[in-house]
Structure formats: C-alpha cells, structure tokens
C-alpha cells in the first residue's frame, strides 16, 4: 500500500513508553462517552413513561447525538492542528459532561434534543476524534493492538455504566441519572491532560540525554594540594574539544561557549485540512459502509430492551445483559486488535478483506436476532455471539482508514467520514423508529431490518480491496543489480 512521506517536523511515534498511559486515558474517555450511548435504551423507557410520549419521538435523540458527533469531526480535526490534542480533548470533555448535566432540567423533548442530543453530541464527537488521533500519533507498528486495547479497556470500564444508569433511574428518574452521569463524564478533562504532545516528550528526552553527569570531587585534599594540581593542569584549545592531563575529553558546544544566538525555531505546521483525501474513491466507499453500519450498530442497543420485554424478559435484566456483553466485547477487542498486527493480517489488503467479510457475517447475526423467541437464548446470543461478530466487523475500521490516509491525514479522513454520514445517522434513527411504529411496535422486525443494513455495509466493503489492487497497488521492487549481489547483506527491498 502506498504511503506518503514521513513528516520530518514531528517526532517519531514512541510505540510504547508514555504511549501506554495515553492508551489508558483514551480508554477511559471512550468508556465514559460510549457507555452513555450504550445505555440510552435504558434511558428511553423511563423518558417515554415520564413524558408520556412515543418511542419513535424519543429514539432520535440518540440519533441526533451521534449525527452531531460526526458533523463536528472536521472542526475537531482543525482544532487538533491549531491547539493540539490535549486542549481539544479538554474542551470536548467539558461539553460532553455539560450536555448530560443540563439533562437534569430537561423536562420536555425539545430540551432533551438540545442538551443530550446537541451539546453532548458535540462534546462526544470531539472526544472520539482526539482518542483515536492520540493513539494514531503515539503508535506506528502496534497501532492496531493499541486501538484494540483502548477499546477493550473501554468495554471493561463501561460495563458498569448500564448498571449504574439503571440504578440511578430507579432512584432519581432519568433527570437525576443524567445529572450524576454528567458529573462523571467531566473526568475526561483531567484524563486528556495526560495526552502530552510528542514535541514536549521529545524535548524532555533530549534535555535528559544532554544533561552531563555531575563530577565527583575528593574533598579530603588539602588546600596546598589543590593549588599544586590547578597550576599543573593545562587546557589547550582544540577544535571544539578541551583535553586535560587526565586524558578526559569534554565536548564543548561552540555556540553556547561563544554566546551565539540559539538555533532558529522549527517552521510552523500548516493548519489546513487534507482535502486530497476526497479524491480517493475508497474514502467514499467507507462512508457508504459506515452509513449502513451505523444504522445497525446504533439501533441495535436502543431497541434491545424493547425486544427483551417483547419476548418475556424485563428491563432490569437487560441492564445486566448490556453490561455482560461489554465484557465479551472487551475480550474480543483485544483478540481482534492483536490479529490485525500479526503475520499476513498486517498487510493493508488483508485488513480490507477482513473488514468486508466480517461485515457480511455480522449482518447475518444481527438479522437472526429478530427470530429469537426465547429470552434465555436471547441473552446468550446478545452476550456472547453478537458482540464477537460485531466487534470483529468494526475492529479493522480504524487501521483500514489509517492505511489509506496515512498517519498524518488519519484525523482528517476519520472526521470527514463522520461528517458525511452524520445526517444519514440522524435520519436512520427516525426511519427505524417509524418502521417500529408502522410494524405494530415489533422489535423483531426491526432487527431483521438492521441485519439487512449491516450486510449491505459488508457487501459494499468488498469494493475497497478491489479498488486498492486495481488503482493503488504498490510499485514493484527495483531489479537486482550486480552491485547488490556483491553486497548480500544490504537490504534492497526499499
């Protein structure tokens, strides 16, 4: 796969070290935002009861939140270039928490659309961009594994959120639950403080490496011995070096010794959006895949409590169901994330094929959810089987985008794809809600519709590796020369 030239102004990714702290920070940030999204189906039941309204009017609140979180993507990408990942994340965490806190005073649907839908959506969208952007900046060779670990940690940490939401709703209704969860989301602010810019890390490492070790002195010498030693010591001037009679060489920085001016600062990075990504046909195919995939993923969680009640379960066990599925999702995120960094699966074309095939299989699994009539089997299906395929189909998405866009343009392509599919995400929630009402409030039929959407995403994904092999194939290696044969130890692959 063809990659762009490296950015010489930016320090290389450490692929570890402080990067693992960043992975932990991003993991908790994702848990706090994604956990609230996964719990909206639990909020939905209490909102419908408290406001005496219909499911089709409440469900689009989450659709609006998701749509706005995608629309804000390009703006968040520009903010990252201008003020950095850390400051952008702090702003996003504040808005995400503020939107949920204002849900406490939202006693009608209009206010819920503004607070939980719009304000929280803006903050969550910014946080989502900076989390994946930070991991992409800190990792190169292990980026798929790092993303998998972050999302797995988010699943493990977020497994408590549905249970917490259910308990808070029982105690304080949806308004009190939103107030408390909004305060919890504000913890994103200090977590984003851990995302130290790579330039600062590089300066700190350089300063630590250039600091000379402090010499040790023998204080037991007398004054006369010290005077005799100083008279016998000669420091002749050499080319940038000073030598002692003890054969000790000391490196002298001529610029600092002469009091010259400091080196010029590096040139400012351009704060522009990478518009050339729009010329790549694979970008538009990814957007189409995500439009259909978002409809399946987002609405799957929203209508799960309704399907549970429809076949004889209850919403209390459904909160436990959502939490346990988060545990299985976390395990699968680790496994799938490691897979895309292993052997043949490290190749970009293998990741693209996996994205398409797993998307088709996930569509079949989602559609089959609608034909389950046993509540106990539904719990097994949703806790173990569906998360495995759902996580598998989405696991290569971020590395596929990164392979196509390169590390420098990853935030731009990721955010632009969200911006383009955002209106369809909102409209999709409205269409699915209308379909639910039209079909006589049948959640089973909704899941068959969602399965068709997920399968369509996988079928469209087949076009990505086809286009890559046809128009973006890597150039053939240069022919071996006589000089190369005489130097067998030299690597001639690049």
User: Is pLDDT above 60 for 238?
Assistant: no
* Helix 443-461 with 348-369: angle, nearest 10 deg: 160
CB 108 within 8 A of CB 56: no
How would you label 468-490 residue by residue, b for 16+ Cβ within 10 Å and e otherwise?
Answer: beeeeeeeeeeeeeeeeeeeeee
Radius of gyration of the chain from Cα atoms? 28
pLDDT in tens, 356-387: 999 999 999 999 999 998 888 888 888 888 88
C-beta separation of 402 from 143 below 8 A: yes
pLDDT, tens digit, 9 for 90 and up, residues 261-284: 555 555 545 557 788 889 999 999
- Residue 4 in this model has a pLDDT that exceeds 60: no
User: Over the stretch 30-48, which tens digit does the pLDDT of each residue have?
Assistant: 889 888 887 888 898 889 9
The structural architecture, per CATH, of the domain 18-199+280-471 is: Up-down Bundle (1.20)
Asked which of 104-108, 206-210, 275-279, 452-456 is least confident by mean pLDDT, the reply is: 206-210
* Stated length of the chain: 494
Pick the closest to residue 279 from 79, 413, 133, 410 (CA basis).
413
Could you tell me the pTM of the whole model?
0.67
The strand pairing partners of 311, in sequence order, are none
User: What mean pLDDT is predicted for residues 305-309?
Assistant: 80
**Which residues, including other chains, have CB under 8 Å from residue 488's CB and lie 6 or more apart?**
none
C-alpha atoms less than 13 angstroms from C-alpha of 175 in its C-beta half-sphere: 10
Q: How many CB atoms lie within 10 A of CB 448?
A: 16
Q: Which residue has the higher pLDDT, 252 or 167?
A: 167
Contacts of 467 (CB under 8 A, 6+ apart): 281, 282, 285
**3-class DSSP state for residue 250?**
strand
* Per-residue pLDDT at 241 exceeds 60: no
Report the C-alpha gap between 117 and 111 in whole angstroms.
9
Four-point Cα dihedral 356, 360, 361, 364, nearest 10: 170
Q: Could you tell me which residue, 178 or 489, shows the higher pLDDT?
A: 178
State residue 478's pLDDT score: 62
User: Which residues lie below 8 Å from residue 431, measured CB to CB, with a gap of 6+?
Assistant: none
Average pLDDT of the residues of the chain? 80
Burial zone of 327 (CB within 10 Å; 0-12 exposed, 13-18 middle, 19+ buried):
middle
Give me 383's structure tokens. Answer: 């806790």
């Amino acid at each position: 796969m063809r990659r762009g030239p490296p950015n010489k102004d930016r320090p290389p990714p450490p692929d570890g070290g402080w990067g693992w702290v960043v992975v932990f920070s991003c993991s908790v940030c994702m848990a706090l935002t994604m956990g609230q999204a996964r719990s909206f189906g639990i909020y939905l039941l209490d909102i419908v009861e408290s406001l005496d309204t219909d499911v089709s009017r409440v469900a689009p609140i989450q659709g609006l939140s998701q749509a706005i979180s995608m629309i804000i993507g390009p703006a968040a990408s520009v903010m990252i270039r201008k003020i950095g990942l850390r400051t952008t994340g702090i702003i996003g965490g504040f808005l995400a928490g503020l939107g949920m806190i204002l849900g406490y005073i939202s006693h009608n649907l209009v206010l819920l659309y503004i607070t939980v839908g719009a304000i929280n959506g803006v903050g969550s969208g910014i946080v989502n961009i900076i989390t994946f952007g930070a991991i992409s900046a800190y990792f190169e060779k292990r980026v798929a594994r790092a993303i998998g670990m972050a999302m797995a940690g988010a699943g493990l940490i977020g497994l408590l959120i549905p249970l917490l939401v259910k308990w808070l709703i029982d105690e304080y209704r949806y308004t009190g639950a939103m107030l408390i969860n909004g305060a919890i989301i504000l913890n994103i602010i200090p977590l984003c403080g851990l995302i130290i810019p790579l330039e600062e890390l590089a300066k700190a490492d350089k300063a630590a490496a250039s600091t000379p070790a402090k010499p040790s002195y023998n204080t037991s010498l007398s004054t006369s011995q010290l005077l005799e030693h100083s008279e016998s010591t000669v420091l002749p001037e050499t080319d940038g070096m000073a030598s002692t009679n003890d054969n000790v060489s000391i490196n002298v920085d001529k610029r600092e010794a002469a009091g010259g001016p400091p080196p010029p600062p590096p040139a400012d990075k351009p704060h522009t959006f990478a518009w050339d990504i729009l010329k790549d046909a694979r970008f538009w195919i990814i957007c189409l895949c995500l439009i259909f995939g978002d409809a399946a993923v987002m609405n799957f969680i929203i209508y799960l409590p309704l399907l549970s009640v429809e076949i004889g379960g209850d919403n209390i066990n459904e909160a436990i169901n959502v939490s346990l599925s988060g545990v299985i999702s976390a395990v699968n995120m680790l496994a799938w994330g490691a897979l895309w960094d292993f052997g043949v699966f490290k190749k970009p074309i293998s990741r693209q094929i996996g994205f398409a095939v797993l998307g088709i299989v996930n569509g079949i699994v989602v559609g089959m959810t609608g034909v389950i009539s046993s509540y106990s089997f539904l719990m097994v299906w949703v806790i173990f089987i569906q998360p495995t395929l759902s996580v598998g189909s989405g696991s290569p998405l971020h590395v596929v985008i990164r392979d196509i866009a390169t590390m420098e343009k990853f935030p731009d392509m990721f955010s632009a794809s969200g911006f383009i599919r955002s209106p369809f995400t909102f409209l999709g929630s409205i269409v699915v809600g209308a379909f639910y009402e039209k079909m006589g409030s049948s959640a089973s039929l909704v899941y068959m519709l969602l399965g068709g959407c997920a399968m369509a995403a996988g079928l469209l994904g087949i076009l990505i590796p086809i286009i890559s092999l046809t128009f973006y194939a890597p150039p053939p290696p240069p022919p071996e020369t006589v000089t190369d044969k005489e130097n067998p130890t030299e690597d001639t692959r690049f």
